[in-house]
Each structure stands twice: as structure tokens, then as C-alpha cells.
Structure 1
Amino acid sequence: MGGLDALRQFNLIKWLREERQSRKLILFIVFVALLLDNMLLTVVVPIIPSYLYNLDESTDTVLKNTTSQQGSPGAFNTIVSLYDNTVRSSSSNGTAAYKDQIVPTTAAPELPQNYSDCPGSSKKLLNENVKVGLLFASKATVQLITNPFIGPLTNRIGYQLPIFAGFCIMFLSTIMFAFSSSYALLFLARSLQGVGSSCSSVAGMGMLASVYTNDEERGHAIGIALGGLAMGVLVGPPFGSVMYEFVGKTAPFLILAFLALFDGALQLFVLQPTKVEPETQKGTPLLTLMKDPYILIAAGAICFGNMAIAMLEPTLPIWMMETMCARKWQLGVAFLPASISYLIGTNIFGTMAHKMGRWLCALIGMVVVGLSVLCVPFAKNIYGLIIPNFGVGFAIGMVDSSMMPIMGYLVDLRHVSVYGSVYAIADVAFCMGFALGPSIGGSIAESIGFPWLMTIIGIVDILFAPLCIFLRNPPGQEEKIAILMDTNCSMKTRSYSTQGTSYQGENMDQEYDEYD
């Protein structure tokens, strides 16, 4: 029995060591990291507009009541103690007529049950566009600032430590969201999420690009990883709206914090983030990559494609409250078609884009995004939003699943094959869409209206689409083109071992002879 137990332990240890090098397990970790990041990103979409509106209304009601009491002749001025629930009153003429009363303390006065569901068109409701837009944009803005530092850092120390640091920061941000009850704390939590998201997304994408070296396999793997992003976007809004409606604001964030702990444990087991990988190859400087026109076109497609949904997130719920008298749960469910179609699009075109041409896939996607957002303002109820939102999500899935792999391909073709910096640029583009979208979109919606906002971003996407033609056959260094052709050919004849980094099959010379 003792020998059998020892053998089982030996086999278990051997299996664990092999699994640590498994490409599929690394892909799963990146999938989960993007899932949690984007669930936290989108779970606030239906919660924050309604929560801040009710918070502002409650504050205004308290101030009005206090003012009316203080303005009455001979009335008692009320001083509320937050510690012992007592009220000390004094007469308005300053005489010592004090008495203590026990009063119930509430965070805000009771409002009618359907008050926030149908506030109607008002200046106060329109003003919420700006506050909500700035809050949503804070995460992407901070992430935008952080990315240029994370990309080169991953080139120097590897991807394991940054992606684990991203988990830790994300967990802290989630806890803050759960227990924050003021605009300032919510703003801080959202900004902190931007740092964690930068670490997770840049390190995760760079890790996949370094593990999946074949262009077709890389596109398929990144498509699966973007499926995690899509799942987060899919589950986040309806999950947040239903939980907020029936349980409260705190519950959805506590559940996300528990899932984040699972992801952290998985990273500790597989990636061993205590180890620092020395830099084996010096990557192309970040500024050099940013001057590459083909990388800029790919980044622009990511930016403007995602800016459409970024503008919808803070403004669509408020427009629905104003024009459709939408209930709380409907504010999140309205994004469900876009989330489902994004998931479908990334999974289909993760592989298909390589066959049909990634440039063509992105071009069609940008046009469809533009046409879809142009149709959004014509909806008269929540059912009228199904087809336009479905088109938006599906088309953005086409763009992302095409442009993310082409970023790695452009580095292989034109620069040094080190991927941290180029995926920092890709994430910067993504963040610019989600930073400029809510902040500019909120102001435009307030000043000229939601329909004009959709018209502007729709036309911008359609006009940008033809630039994707330049990605059809980008020039590269001749020796790098030869290496890529040989790599893509030889990878098709190899079978991977369970470790994912060693290969079984013919030797390299034989593969080159067959290719020639």
C-alpha cells in the first residue's frame, strides 16, 4: 500500500508539472482573467446610473426638508447625531429649548417604488449623463496611462508577475465597489480597476502570443480568450441589473470577489508568479511600434469599433429611462443581444478571419457597427433594441478577433517578436475607445441629444472602415517573411506534446525539405 501511495503521489506531481506548461491551461487562465475583468466592467452599467440618480434625489429631498424646517418662524432647528440616533432641537430664536428624541436613521428618505423607473425627461436626468460618463471613463483613462509602463515591464520580467498583480488589484477594486456609497469612492474603485485591468490584459495577450507562435493557432487562441471578454460583457449587465433589483448593490460585487479568489489560486498553482523571467530578447521600443502606420490602423479599428459600445453603456440606460420608462432590470437586459452576438462573433471569426482575410473581416465589421448604431435611436421599446444591439456586438466581435491577432503578426513581420509592447498598444486603443466614448458621449448626449450621438459615432466608424484595406498585404522584412512562412508550414506537420512547448514528429531539416 505504501508503495502504491508513493507511486500515486509521484504520478500526481508529474501531472502537475506537466499541466503547469500546458498551453490550454494558460489559455484558460487568460480566459478567466478577461471574464472577471469585463464582468466587473459591465456589471456596473445598469447599477450606477439608477443608483446615482436615486442618491442625488435622496440628497435633494433631505436638503429641501431641512431648508423648509429652518425657514419656518419659531420652528425647531434639528441637529441629528449619527452616533446615538438622537435629535437635539433648538428654537429658531436661539433660546435654550432643547430636548432629545429618538428617531430612526435611514441612508435616504423613502421614495415611491417606481420613482427611479420612470423619472421622465428632466434636466437633472440629463445631467446624470456627464457624471455617469466620467465615472465609466475613469477606468479606461487610468488603464490608458498605465499601459505604456506595463508593456515594457512584461518584456523585462515576464508575464506571470504582472497578471497576478492584476488579480490582486482587481480583487481590491471589487471589494471597494461592494461597500462604497458615495460618488468619490465609486470613482476611486473604478480608477483602481483600470490598473488591474492593464496588468491582466497586456500580460495575458502577450503570454498567449508567446505560447502560440503559429499565426492561425494564435488567432484561434486569442479568439477563445476574447470569448472570456465576451462572456464577461454578456453576463455582467443582466447579472448586475437583476441582482440590484432584487438583492441590492453589494451582492453582485461580493460574488465577483469570490470568483476572483478562484482565479488567483489558479494563477498561483500554474504560473508560479514568484519567479521573474529574465529578458531573453530585447523587444522593439514602444515608440517605434507606435510610429508603425499598419499597427496604428489596426489600433484605430479597435478604438473606434469599441467606442460605439462605450458610448452606449452610460447613455443608453438614461435614454431608456427618459423615453421608454424602463425598469431597472431592463437597463442591463438591453445589452444582452450585444453581449451574445459578441461571443458568437469572436468564436466564429477567431478562425474564419484568417481564411477570409483579417483586413476584410475588420472592414465589414466596422461598416456593420456604424449601420447598427445608426438604427439604435429608432427603437420605441426594449424589443426594438434587439436587432441593432445584436449587430453592434457581432460586428465588434469581428473587429476584435481580427485585429488582436494581426497585432502579433505585424510584430513578427516587421519588428522583433516580443509582444508585451504591441499588446500594450492594442490595449491603449481599446482603452481610448472606452475612455473617450463615455466622457465625450455623455457630454454630447446632454447637449444635442442621444440620437445625434449615435449618428456621429456611426458615421465615424463607416468612414474609418476603408483604411483596413492597407492591412491586406503589409510589407515586412524579407528574412522575417521567410521565417514566418517556414514556421507556419512546419507547425501544421507537428503534433504537440502535453507540455505544449516541446514537439513530436519530423525534424526541422526534413520539414524544410518538404516545404521546399
Structure 2
Amino acid sequence: MSPAGSQPWLASGRASPRLVLAVVFVALLLDNILLTVVVPIVPAFLYSTEYEAAESSASPALPAPPPTAPGAPPFSRPGTTAPAGGFTSPGNGSSPPAPGRGCLRGGEFLAQENTRVGLLFASKALVQLLLNPWVGLLTNRIGYHIPMFLGFTIMFLSTVMFAFSGTYTLLLLARALQGVGSSFSSVAGLGLLASVYTDDSQRGRAMGIALGGLALGVLVGAPFGSIMYQFVGKASPFLVLAFLALLDGALQLCILQPSRGSPESAGATPLPTLLRDPYILVAAGALCFSNMGVAMLEPTLPIWMLQTMCPPQWQLGMAFLPASISYLIGTNLFGVLANRMGRWLCSMIGMAVVGISLLCVPLATNIYGLIGPNAGLGFAIGMVDSSMMPTMAYLVDLRHASAYGAVYAIADVAFCAGFAVGPSTAGAVVRALGFPWLMAMVGALNVAYAPLCLALRSPPAAQEKMAILSQECPMHPKSCTLKEAQRELPLTEEVE
């Protein structure tokens, strides 16, 4: 097709909110596949490259172990079976064996690995946490399109680096680089969606679909990583993601308009003003604490499974599958329902269910016992995310200037705070108190925070905002949309 013939298609595509939604969906999808594909890979990779390598060099004269029986867990060693729920250290022959099961040796190494893996996972969120406010300010100045494409470029580099990193330090650097790319993609993508979908109900539906991309990435990432790592090799899942990232970059070049700024950002509310808004802080806290639970599970659950269940490698990723599927269902379902039944109510119920699900995780004795708690956890987090993400834009429309880069920087900071504090502290808590106490603490935190969502039931509009709305509604359809949402709010409360 000639360039002249392609211009009408490009023009209509760039004006289409659905294609913008597709770009954001794919960006969040790839970001979260990369986020979770490392969850089952890193613990096993560090074990094989550090502990096994050190043990082999220390005992070079030992004969190679005979092949394990079909279906035995990888890295298991003949003659070194572990007691149910624990490890045997080298030379410890007094522990009662678990029949037919072989667990990993090196319990002290895996206990220390809790902390190292947690820090590696947290590095992405920590970098994103520090960078998000600056990205929010940048989007207010130059718009959303250039940061979106910059995020893709950095994400591609991070994916390639993961594929060829062979040490803990390089993996840590690749994970931190991913945080830089995620910051640009997430803040700019969600802000772009909020600016394209101005109607509150349509915006909630679009946010639910976009978060479905996030959920699908989480859904695919861990199982895909564990299967590809075991049967193909460490680099294989990352090379596949790098190829998909190139396709996403081509899509962004076709749809986005890097030369055009964001017209609504001229009178944007300063970030410190938004941070002083108590309603925005309540919504951000709900995002932070609900996601902190799954953030703590990511580095600790695979190692706890290795200690107590002795599973094969592929099960370490499959354990997260119920949470991912239910999160995908929850975000799409409550992207529509939350606006009808009350987003504050969805968030409050979701946080309570998050707490109960986390309390039930340590009760599992095998991978099948994890299905119920993890499914409840994913569904509940989907309720919170699909409710609070559009609530952030609604609060800005209601109480501040309608520019969304800064408020979604706050939302992403809250999200990343959970994923930074969670993994970085989870390993230390597990070593000091144990995995069940970790789940009990974060579960109780979510249940205690849930009643604060009542504050979002009927947030007041700023007085100057109400005056502008009442005077300029006939001239500005966007303001009319907001005023209609305000008129519908008391009816929603009566129904509830």
C-alpha cells in the first residue's frame, strides 16, 4: 500500500479509543509476562548455578548420581530424602525419610535465598517507585505518547538482558532496568486511557480491559517460564518475549502520535496537591496493601513449596495459575459491575477476601490445596484494582484539574510500594518467624484496612470545581459527563 493510501487508516486508527486501548493492553501484557516469568526461574537457576556448582567443585571425585526415576523432582539426589516439611543437610542421615519423595539439599542456602530472591524481585518495584513521580510530571509536560514508546524501548533491552544474564548481579540489573521501562509504560498508558475515555462508566470498562492485559500477563508468565525453563532452557522465554516486544513497538509506531502533546495538561494539578488529598491516599492505600499480599507470595511461595511439598520444577509456576485466572475474571467482571454496585464496596469486600485468602495459604499440604486460596486472592485483587484505578481518574475529575499523568503516577507508586516492600521484607520475616506468620500478618493488614474504603462512598467535589461545572456544562460535554455521574451517585447509594 502506498503511503498516501495508508494515511487515512493511520488517521482513523490514531483517533480510535479502541486501538489506543489495544496498545495499552499489549504494553501491560508484555510487562507483566516479564514480571512473572522470572518467578519460577530465578530460585531454581540460582540453586543450580551457585549451590550445585559450589558442591560439585568441593567434591570433584564423587561419581555422578544415577538418573532419577520418572516424575521425580529436578535436582533431587538419591539417598537424600527430606522429612515431610523440611530439608536434610548433607551428611544428616538421622532424619526420617519421606517415602518416594526427594527434596532439594541445602536448606540453609535456600533459607538465605529467600532474602536474595526477594530483593531481586523488589528491585523492579523500587526503581519504579522512585521514578514514577518524575514520569507523571513528564507526561503532564509532553503528553503520553513519547513516554509510552520510551517504555517499550527500555522493556525490550531489559528482556534481552534477562536472556543472557548468568549471574545474580546481572539479573538484578535487568530487573531494575525493567522497572524503568514499566514506569513509563504504566503511567503513560493509564493516563492515556483516562484522557481518551472521558465518560466515567466507559472509562471503568476500559480500565477493566486494560487490567485484563495485566492479568493475562501474570496468568501466562509463571507457567510459561517454568515450562520453557525446564524443557528448553533459561534464555528461551525471554527471547520469545523480546520478539513480541518488537511487534508491540511496531504497533505503537502506527497508532501513537509522538509529536503531539497532551492538551489537557496545561492546567494540571501539582503532584504535592494530589498527595495531600485524603481520598486519593485512601484509594492508593487499597491498591498498595491488596497487591502486597501477592508480592510477598512471589519470592516465598516457591521456596516454601520446595521445603514442604518437594514439587517438580513445573509446579512452582503452576501454583500461581489459579490466582492469575481469577484475577483476569475479576478485573473484567468488576470493570462493569463496580460502577453499579459502588466501587468503594467492591474494594472493601475485595480487601477482606484478600486477607482471608492469605490466611488460608499456609494450610495447604500440596499444590491442589493452594488452588482455593490463590483463586480467592486473585479474584479479590481484581475487584480492588478494577475499582480503584478508575476511581483515581474520577477523583481528579471531581476535585482537581482533569490531567491524569500525576494521579496515575501516584496509583503506580502505590502499586509498586506493595511490590517493593513486600518481597524485600518477606524473606526476612520468613527467616525470623516463618511463612505462616508472614501470611497471617499481611492478611490481617488487609482486613484492618478494608473499612477505610467507606470514605470513598461519596467523596465531596471541590467548591470551585462545582461552580465551574454548573456554569460551563452546556459548553463542555466532558463536564456534563462528570455532573451526570455526580447526579447518579445518590441513586447508587439508595440501591445499595
Q: Give the TM-score band, short-chain normalised.
A: 0.7 to 0.9
Q: Shift of the alpha carbon at 1:17? A: 1.2
TM-score by length of 1: 0.83
Q: Kindly tell me: are residues 402 and 279 of structure 1, through their superposed partners in 2, closer, same or farther at Cα, counting changes over 3 Å? A: closer
1:309-458 matched pairs, under 5 angstroms: 309-458=294-443
Contact 1:305 1:461 in 2 (8 A): yes
Q: Kindly tell me: are residues 484 and 39 of structure 1, through their superposed partners in 2, closer, same or farther at Cα, counting changes over 3 Å? A: farther
Q: Which has the larger radius of gyration?
A: 1
* 3-state SS in 1 of match to 2:459: coil
2:298 equivalent to 1:304: no
Contact 1:120 1:323 in 2 (8 A): no
Structure 2's unaligned 5+ residue stretches are: 77-102, 483-496
Q: Kindly tell me: are residues 246 and 484 of structure 1, through their superposed partners in 2, closer, same or farther at Cα, counting changes over 3 Å? A: farther
Hey, what's the Cα distance between the residues in 2 that align with 1:390 and 1:115?
27
Match of 2:75 in 1: 116
Match of 2:161 in 1: 176
Q: Kindly tell me: are residues 112 and 316 of structure 1, through their superposed partners in 2, closer, same or farther at Cα, counting changes over 3 Å? A: farther
Hey, what's the Cα distance between the residues in 2 that align with 1:430 and 1:28?
22
Aligned length: 447
Contact 2:51 2:109 in 1 (8 A): no
Hey, what's the Cα distance between the residues in 2 that align with 1:175 and 1:477?
48
Match of 2:9 in 1: 15
Hey, what's the Cα distance between the residues in 2 that align with 1:489 and 1:154?
22
1:63-142 matched pairs, under 5 angstroms: 63-65=57-59, 114=73, 116=75, 118-119=103-104, 122-142=107-127
Hey, what's the Cα distance between the residues in 2 that align with 1:276 and 1:111?
64
Q: Kindly tell me: are residues 115 and 244 of structure 1, through their superposed partners in 2, closer, same or farther at Cα, counting changes over 3 Å? A: closer
Hey, what's the Cα distance between the residues in 1 that align with 2:359 and 2:265?
49
Hey, what's the Cα distance between the residues in 2 that align with 1:225 and 1:478?
33
Which of 437, 447, 453 is residue 462 of structure 1 equivalent to? 447
Deviation track 1:78-121 (CA, whole Å, cap 9, x = no partner) reads: xxxxxxxxxxxxxxxxxxxxxxxxxxxxxxx9897645352167
Match of 2:170 in 1: 185
- Amino acid paired to 1:311: M
Match of 1:81 in 2: none
Contact 1:121 1:322 in 2 (8 A): no
Match of 2:81 in 1: none
Q: Kindly tell me: are residues 14 and 142 of structure 1, through their superposed partners in 2, closer, same or farther at Cα, counting changes over 3 Å? A: same
Match of 1:477 in 2: 462
Deviation track 1:151-173 (CA, whole Å, cap 9, x = no partner) reads: 01000000000010000000000
1:200-219 matched pairs, under 5 angstroms: 200-219=185-204
- Amino acid paired to 1:174: T
Contact 1:157 1:278 in 2 (8 A): no
Hey, what's the Cα distance between the residues in 1 that align with 2:67 and 2:424?
31
- Amino acid paired to 2:435: F
Contact 1:306 1:396 in 2 (8 A): yes
Q: Shift of the alpha carbon at 1:59? A: 3.3
Match of 1:28 in 2: 22
Task: State percent identity of aligned pairs.
Answer: 63
Which of 59, 67, 75 is residue 53 of structure 2 equivalent to? 59
Hey, what's the Cα distance between the residues in 1 that align with 2:16 and 2:153?
24
Match of 2:491 in 1: none
Deviation track 1:307-333 (CA, whole Å, cap 9, x = no partner) reads: 000000000000001100011100000
Q: Shift of the alpha carbon at 1:355? A: 0.5
- Amino acid paired to 1:391: G
Match of 1:72 in 2: none
Which of 236, 239, 246 is residue 221 of structure 2 equivalent to? 236
Hey, what's the Cα distance between the residues in 2 that align with 1:190 and 1:31?
21
Contact 2:51 2:106 in 1 (8 A): no
* 3-state SS in 1 of match to 2:311: coil
Hey, what's the Cα distance between the residues in 1 that align with 2:329 and 2:413?
24
